[in-house]
Amino acid sequence: MKESTKTSGKLGTESIGKLLLQQSLPASIGFLVMSVYQMVDVWFVSRYAEGEIAIAAITVVLPITFLISSFGMAVGVGGASVLARALGEENPEKAQKTFSNQIMLTLGFVLFFVLLGYLFQTELLTLFGANEEIMPYAKKYLNVLLLGLPFLGWAMMSNNVIRAEGKPKMAMYTMIIPAVSNIVLDYVLILQFDMGITGAAWATTVGYMLSGIYTLWFFLSGKSELQLSKSGLRLDIPIVKEISSIGSITLLRQSMFSLLAIVLYSQLDKWGQVEYETTLGESGGSHAIAIYGLIRGFTLFVAFPIIGIMQGLMPIVSFNYGAKNGQRVKDSVWLAIQWTTGISLLLLSVIVIFPEELIGIFTEDKDLLAHTPRVLQLIFLSLPVMGIGFIGGAYFQAVGKPIPALVLTLARQGLFMIPLMFILAYFFGLDGVWISLPAGEVVAGIWAASWLYLEVNKLKDKNTTASEMETIGTQ
């Protein structure tokens, strides 16, 4: 505990720049690994398997798997908060009960939705934008991935628990292990055994399984303060309520991404057929979805330093807000904005100057090479503003205001992007769908910046009276 106190105390004394770098790098590396994980499948199937149609199929399936596994993430985030407080209070009994409840909730939710995925596969894929051309390939991919989702849900839950125990390196391995295995198996199954999209699915699924097995080993090895116990596998309603109150916000946030995917892929299929009717016919919708599939991979990759800075900012803000170091909170937020904006401008420059070269890394398909670079440039025009939105959400979470953080996240898709998608598509067709994404990002970023500016400027330094600080915290 002394060492922990000593370490956390640095958050209030050391250079903001040094702290932000120290906190951001591990988070950035973790997210980078996860983004590479998803890009590898796209790269292999595009170049060495079914090509464009496989990209479209993977693009349709990923939001489904993301939504199902999000239950594990939500239980993990909610439970980790309860568990960490219990460990800090030296209440191992409550910590163990919380962990046991996390296990029951995660496996219960994930297995239930995996079963629904098998029973209503066609309906689910249709909902997420799979047309008749994409459907057979999407089914091949989804059928295999569903086998690995219980392992992924467990791993995502466990990852948060391991972090709550103060073992970030062990948590990082849960992301690195499946990423490395996915790359190796993609090469073996697609290139050596010519299994196509099915090989890509098995490579990903085995990665999920290895991640789940690794975290299971962690808890069985004695390295954890927590134990797997049959006697503890009973739901405790008060603890379930605590987990749900925090985890539900994460689940709502993740669900909004899936809702956006449903609307987006439907619009891309509809307007893609119109846009490419003369050249591609009925394949125009699949082509538009494949274009987004390629760009989505870049989105994840480009976002990793921004996500890292956002996650690195949160403990610095939390500590100094609690210590009433208002000026350090302000300095941290503005520095994070400067860093994300600077990095975003650099990345945007590369995208604007070399779009053809970047797309050429992933595909040799002449139609994708002809149509994707312009869309890539268009969508990423909002990149410098994206970071501000992320920083805004991170700030409100860090100071204990989850509702504003949730509102900012939900509004980004639900209030701005989705309505703009319908409005702009009506006037500009497929280009309107593409424009709605950066336009929604810009509007959301401006709103987040305004809200953040007003909130941060309310902060006072430690010489502020307790009553003043309390008033600020409740606003």
- pLDDT tens string 60-77: 998 999 899 889 988 987
* Average pLDDT of span 86-92: 78
- Whether 197 and 45 have beta carbons less than 8 Å apart is answered as yes
Q: According to the model, what pLDDT value does residue 168 have?
A: 67
Segments forming the whole domain that contains residue 309: 2-474
Structure tokens at 265: 């892929």
Using CA atoms, how far apart are residues 173 and 442, in angstroms rounded to an integer?
Answer: 35
DSSP state of 464: S
* % of the chain exceeding 70 in pLDDT: 92
Q: According to the model, what pLDDT value does residue 419 have?
A: 96
pTM over 0.95: no
Q: According to the model, what pLDDT value does residue 249 have?
A: 74
Q: According to the model, what pLDDT value does residue 214 have?
A: 95
Number of folded domains in the chain? 1
* Average pLDDT of span 14-19: 86
Using CA atoms, how far apart are residues 389 and 404, in angstroms rounded to an integer?
Answer: 12
Would you call 276 helix, strand, or coil by DSSP? Answer: coil
Q: Which of 101-105, 118-122, 227-231, 309-313 has the lowest mean pLDDT?
A: 227-231
* % of the chain exceeding 90 in pLDDT: 52
Using CA atoms, how far apart are residues 283 and 291, in angstroms rounded to an integer?
Answer: 12
CA distances from 430 to 148, 268, 289, 442 (A): 35, 7, 11, 19
| Residue 232 pLDDT level (bands cut at 50, 70, 90) | low
> What's the pLDDT tens digit per position in 432-452?
999 999 999 999 999 999 999
Using CA atoms, how far apart are residues 157 and 460, in angstroms rounded to an integer?
Answer: 37
Handedness of CA 320, 325, 329, 332 (dihedral sign): negative
Q: According to the model, what pLDDT value does residue 231 have?
A: 61
